Amino acid sequence: MHIVYEALLKRKKENRPIKVALVGAGAMGRAVALQMSMSVPGMVVAVIANRTLKPSIRAYAEAGVENPKEVKQLKDLEACIRQGIPAVTDNVLMVCQAEGIDAVMEITGSIEFGANVSMEAIKNNKHLVLMNAELDGTIGPILKVHADKAGVVITNIEGDQPGVIMNLYHYVKAMGLKPVLCGNIKGLQDHYRTPTTQMGWAKKWKQDIFKVTSFADGTKISFEQSIVANATDMHVVQRGMMGPEVPPGTPIMDAVKLFSIDKVLGGDEKGIVDFIVGPDPNSGVFVLATMDHPEHRRYLNLYKVGEGPLYCFYTPHHLCYMEAPYSVARAVLFNESTIAPEYGPKVEVVATGKKELKKGEKLDMIGGYATYGQCENRETSRKGNLLPMGIAEDCVLKRNISKDEVITYDDVELPEDRLVDRLRIEQDSFFS
């Protein structure tokens, strides 16, 4: 972090800030704009693109920037970028084409829309920073193939759980331990939560109701852990992960004892991704690791890490919008991803009935009333022709689906002419 910060200070001193295009001006997009504008040296929000202008103008206003210029033509946007004039536009793909933009941040949470933005950014040789776990967990591996060919970085972010886990994973590995479980910490897991049950919480924190529901019903954590698996070559020990629950306030160092080394190693020695519900701290991430050398084990015990065989390291928080700009800096300044699907698709998120569903019913969006997502190993998912959660929206059921039944491709009619479906076919073929 210090190296990145010093590099940003140098760019500020040289008056050569990193110029970022933000795509999406919802709650998280506004928070990122606030952080970049007020707290990150050597980086500017050059343009905010959203399908409607009002949220983008609000995002700038909350960051202390009044009267950004509305642009509709590429030449006008590029003029603003050259002159350092903050801009807003509803022409979202245009910001991916603009000369002078160093990186595009995709923060919409939409999969089909995000796929189009991502491919346009890559096509125009822009570094792509995804603040969109759902997109990354669905087609991240094939997006990385395209990004590698274009010579640009694709990365998920610091601050969200996958990036925080990956930083901790590298930290543990660099000390000579072997990470065998990459874990997420949750305060709640209930597959049957809906926008109705989560309305109060969403209003209190001014968050999108569907996003909030996906946090509660387990879909978001499934996408997060699939991203980690794809970056580490890990797997899940069972569909949906184990996800043990402990009494609230149980110290994480005690809670992780629920994971046995036999379960964690699972026969292939590559390790697993999983989560735990209810420990203290009640947010953040953890990594379990092993160490074979007896002298190192003695020192680990001396320094209060424990007796083993599993050693727990944890980060007690994740500050999405505050840390995310550093992923932009790592991509632009060091050509480095925070977390990317280096191993291709290892774990999928599969669509599962949240209730009894009827033939002819159209599946609603992630965090809705119809489905929740569960992690499944890709090999199992492919054999069962299971429907990815990121593909499920707007699919029409060809038969009745039971509550908690995993949906397959054979069970649905796909919407016509979606980019995400074409990219999934390409991804499945490339990694076959």
Q: What are the structure tokens assigned to 272, written together?
A: 């697993």
* Same domain as 170, residue 66: no
How far is it, in rounded angstroms, from Cα 129 to Cα 330?
A: 10
* Same domain as 295, residue 215: yes
* Same domain as 280, residue 231: yes
* Same domain as 311, residue 414: no
- When the pLDDT of each residue in the chain is averaged and rounded to a whole number, the result is 96
Total of domains in the chain: 3
Strand partners, 155: 129
* Domain of residue 71, CATH code: 3.40.50.720
* Same domain as 166, residue 118: no
* Same domain as 294, residue 253: yes
Residue 64 domain boundaries: 2-159+322-334
pLDDT band at 1; cut points 50, 70, 90: confident
How far is it, in rounded angstroms, from Cα 279 to Cα 263?
A: 20
Domain end among 284, 299, 334: 334
Q: Is residue 168 part of a domain?
A: yes
Determine which of 52-61, 62-71, 258-267, 282-291 has the lowest per-residue pLDDT on average. 258-267
Q: What are the structure tokens assigned to 114, written together?
A: 């995000």
- Strand segments, DSSP code E, in 265-315 are 272-280, 285-290, 311-315
pLDDT of residue 267: 58
pLDDT above 90: residue 242: yes
Q: Full-prediction pTM beyond 0.75?
A: yes
Q: b/e per residue, 22-48, with b = 16+ CB within 10 A? A: bbbbbbbbbbbbbbbbeebebbbbbbb
* Domain of residue 351, CATH code: 3.90.1210.10
Neighbours of 89 (CB within 10 A): 26
Domain end among 287, 308, 334: 334
Q: Is residue 339 part of a domain?
A: no
Q: Is residue 340 part of a domain?
A: no
Q: Which amino acid is at 330?
A: R
* Same domain as 175, residue 101: no
Render pLDDT for 259-301 as a digit per residue (tens, 0 to 9). 988 888 765 678 999 999 999 998 899 999 999 999 999 999 9
Q: pLDDT > 90: what percent of the chain?
A: 94
* Same domain as 313, residue 264: yes
* Same domain as 120, residue 30: yes
Q: Is residue 341 part of a domain?
A: no
Q: Is residue 293 part of a domain?
A: yes
Q: What's phi and psi for 102, nearest 5 deg?
A: -85, -35
Spell out the residues 6+ positions from residue 177 whose beta carbon is closer than 8 angstroms to its own.
289, 290, 291, 311
* Beta sheet of 103-106, edge-to-edge order: 69-70, 87-89, 43-49, 18-23, 103-106, 127-130, 154-156
Q: Is residue 212 part of a domain?
A: yes
Place of tokens 């569903």: 357
Domain end among 334, 364, 394: 334
Q: Is residue 292 part of a domain?
A: yes
* Same domain as 169, residue 148: no
Render pLDDT for 387-425 as a digit per residue (tens, 0 to 9). 999 999 999 999 999 999 999 999 999 999 999 999 999
Residue pair 394/361 in contact by the 8 Å Cβ criterion: no
Give yes or no for a cis peptide into 281 (omega within 30° of 0): yes
* Same domain as 148, residue 52: yes
Residue pair 324/9 in contact by the 8 Å Cβ criterion: no
* Same domain as 176, residue 240: yes
